[in-house]
Amino acid sequence: MSVTPLEALPIDQLRLRSSTKWRKYPDDVLPLFVAETDFALAPGITAALARAVGLGDTGYTPPDPGIRDAFARFAQRRFGWDVDPARVRSTGDVIMGVVEILRAVTDPGDRVVVTPPVYPPFYDCVPEAGGVVERVPLIETDAAWELDLAGIEAALADGARAVLLCNPHNPTGTAHARESLAALSDIAERHGAVVVSDEIHAPLVQPGVAFTPFLAASPAAARVGYAVTSASKAFNLAGLKCALMVTADDATTRVVNGLPVEVEWRTGLFGALAGVAAFSEESDAWLDALLARLDENRRLLADLLAEHVPGARFRIPDAGFLAWVDLTDLGWGDNPAVKILRDAKVALHFGPHFGVEGRGHVRINFGCSPDVLREAVERIGALLHR
């Protein structure tokens, strides 16, 4: 059954928003940098938040706002993943959950593997937890981006104590294969290490692409793994502060349940209420329409780059609304987003922030209207003729 793609809000209406995407730069700049999208909220979320505001329901988050059960039902419905709600605990956001778990499972000075090019806060949250970043870059083949399992094993054999995984991966949009995740879990277990998997982009895996939650990849993954996720990326709720820490084994559950009570108190009530609505079956049609729009946009972006920015290299992502684009051949330096912002008035995320592998790259947010995407790429393409 075909799904009608979701339509973005008019840009004049979007510029009334007060979030980072619409306040960081002047109005002559098209903002395609930070991971916020340009769509109206799912109706169920709007209704839940409006009801809360109408009631003055702005107090402390209760011990069980319903988010655990809502997520478990969502995981089963969308991923075929059986989650025990008793093994789910909330906190303020995904990075907060990552930091607290790493603090609990590593000692100060322990090395934590990350897989660049990767989400820039990973480079900050590992030191925040007391660890040291150990870089094991992804491998790019003709077919896909893949985990360097041999490199990760070497790092763990040399004493690294944890792997901070991004699944699906930001910025490449890669949904890691089950076989790769299972192999990673075996490696971690063999060396007495843990895997903390950031799965915030999981609801945005395209139909036809297999998404494997890390904890469901194998029995070993359930034993060594922790997942941290949220409705915030798919449903554009980053300002409302609610993320979930998920486990699948008694030992890992004891670790998360042993975190300080303040970790859970940081959950925002509006984030929890919005998350319950987002994870409800009522919001599935909205999410399907969003995915249909993102599918059209990711293919449109590939066509636009080929037409207007020859020399750009772009692999269509499995998931999300973020595009990892290699502009090295254009000769615009290690950080081409600087020139693009200055001369084309288009704000993209700076590639080098994702690691040295990001030199010559940009990250483009295509969670917008086709018209905005087209104008942005045409502006960038015009620089080639100046």
User: Which among 35, 247, 233, 238 has a CA at the least distance from the CA of 120?
Assistant: 35
* Whether 74 and 29 share a structural domain: no
Give the count of domains, the chain. 2
pLDDT in tens, 319-373: 999 999 999 999 999 999 999 999 999 999 999 999 999 999 999 999 999 999 9
The answer to the question of residue 6 being in a domain is no
Q: What is the CATH number of the domain that holds 333?
A: 3.90.1150.10
What pLDDT, on a 0 to 100 scale, did the predictor assign at position 1? 66
The answer to the question of residue 314 being in a domain is yes
* Residue 205: domain span: 45-281
Q: Which residues of the chain register pLDDT less than 50?
A: none
C-beta atoms surrounding 150 within 10 Å: 11
At 139, give phi and psi (nearest 5°). Answer: -105, 130
* Whether 169 and 89 share a structural domain: yes
Is residue 375 within 8 A of residue 344, CB to CB? The reply is no
Is residue 112 within 8 A of residue 134, CB to CB? The reply is yes
What pLDDT, on a 0 to 100 scale, did the predictor assign at position 2? 84
H-run or E-run covering 326:
strand 322-326
At 136, give phi and psi (nearest 5°). Answer: -130, 95
* Whether 127 and 276 share a structural domain: yes
The answer to the question of residue 162 being in a domain is yes
d(CA 33, CA 27): 14
* Whether 363 and 221 share a structural domain: no
The answer to the question of residue 333 being in a domain is yes
* Whether 360 and 333 share a structural domain: yes
281, 307, 341: which is the final residue of a domain?
Answer: 281
The answer to the question of residue 188 being in a domain is yes
The first and second tokens of residue 326, run together, are 């290699």
238, 262, 281: which is the final residue of a domain?
Answer: 281
pTM beyond 0.95: the answer is yes
The answer to the question of residue 95 being in a domain is yes
Looking at the chain, the number of H-run helices and the number of E-run strands are 16, 14
pLDDT more than 70, % of the chain: 100
At 27, give phi and psi (nearest 5°). Answer: -70, -15
* Whether 271 and 380 share a structural domain: no
* Whether 139 and 262 share a structural domain: yes
The answer to the question of residue 3 being in a domain is no
What pLDDT, on a 0 to 100 scale, did the predictor assign at position 143? 86
* Whether 124 and 197 share a structural domain: yes
What pLDDT, on a 0 to 100 scale, did the predictor assign at position 18? 97
H-run or E-run covering 30:
strand 30-32
* Whether 218 and 359 share a structural domain: no
pLDDT in tens, 167-185: 999 999 999 999 999 999 9
What pLDDT, on a 0 to 100 scale, did the predictor assign at position 321? 98
* Whether 119 and 195 share a structural domain: yes
Burial letters for 18-48: b for 16+ Cβ neighbours within 10 Å, e otherwise? eeebbeebeeeebbbbebbbbbebbebbeeb
* Whether 326 and 347 share a structural domain: yes
d(CA 187, CA 34): 34
d(CA 201, CA 321): 9
The answer to the question of residue 310 being in a domain is yes
* Whether 255 and 310 share a structural domain: no
Could you write out the DSSP letters of every residue in 49-74?
Answer: HHHHHHHT--SPPPS--SHHHHHHHH
d(CA 319, CA 206): 6
281, 298, 332: which is the final residue of a domain?
Answer: 281
Q: What is the CATH number of the domain that holds 64?
A: 3.40.640.10
